[in-house]
Amino acid sequence: MHPRTLTLTAAVGLLAACAKQVPVPTTAVAAASTKPRSVRLLPNTPERETASLEGRREDVEVDTREGERNPRIVATAETQPLMLDGAKARLCGDEACTQGFAVDNFLLLEVLDAKGKVSRRAAVGFTDSVFIGNEQVDNLGRHAFSFEPNEVDITGLLPESEPFRIRATALDFWGVGRVTAIYLRLEPGAGRNEDDLRGQ
């Protein structure tokens, strides 16, 4: 083969190889990150009498005149590391966020930082004042056993730009304890999208 032809062939081959290495557009990555995400916090746990629940949260104290001051554990689980990324965080009863959820007596949400230390806590459900040590735990939502999908917004409980985990524990202190499946729904907020458009 003539040297000039050989050089031309090599150049064409090099261009073809470069064409195969086109990077994925950043807009495609951004589009994927703006899709709603659902993370299961707790599975459905059938009703059981309080006395039959073996585990307790000895560090948790409920200010109640009836039942046990140290509640018993109905179910507990911890998520993998998550990022809020400007999304709204609400609670639902299914992955598609079309169903509500129920808990008897209440759900204790604990936000853990990257080192595993609890940074924030909140209680959701039908309960009197809840304490851990000298700290009173904030209540989110209505004083109730059942909640509509998206009713309980926990966005303010979560860090805006740091990784976190959520430990969810359904607790009961009187009668029977149960919890339906509970999901965390992370959905990009309209406010953030409007800001992005104004910045373009």
What does the pLDDT look like over 7-44, one tens digit per residue?
A: 434 444 443 343 333 343 433 333 345 789 999 999 99
pTM value? 0.78
Confidence of residue 158 (pLDDT cuts 50, 70, 90): very high
Block residue for tokens 């373009």 = 200
The whole domain housing 55 covers: 36-198
Is 63 inside any structural domain?
A: yes
Does residue 70 fall inside a structural domain? yes
Residue 198: the pLDDT is 33
The CATH number of the domain where 181 resides is what? 2.60.120
Instruction: Give the residue, 10 or 127, on which the prediction is more confident.
Output: 127
Mean pLDDT on 150-164: 95
End-to-end CA distance of the chain: 53
- Does residue 18 sit within a domain? no
Q: Is residue 28 part of a domain?
A: no
- In degrees, rounded to 5, the angle at the alpha carbon of residue 137 between the alpha carbons of residues 186 and 115 is 60
13-to-2, 6, 85 alpha-carbon distances in Å:
17, 11, 42
CA dist., res. 64 & res. 105, Å (int) = 12
Percent of the chain topping pLDDT 90: 72
Q: Residue 27 falls within a domain, yes or no?
A: no
43: burial class by Cβ within 10 Å (0-12, 13-18, 19+)?
exposed
Could you tell me if residue 12 is inside a domain?
Answer: no
Q: What is the pLDDT of residue 33?
A: 57
User: Domain tally for the chain?
Assistant: 1
The verdict on residue 30 lying in a domain is no
pLDDT in tens, 48-73: 999 999 999 999 999 988 889 999 99
Mean pLDDT of the chain: 83
Residues 6+ apart with CB under 8 A from 180: 44, 93, 101, 102, 103
Whether residue 19 lies inside any domain: the answer is no
Question: How many residues are there in the chain?
Answer: 200
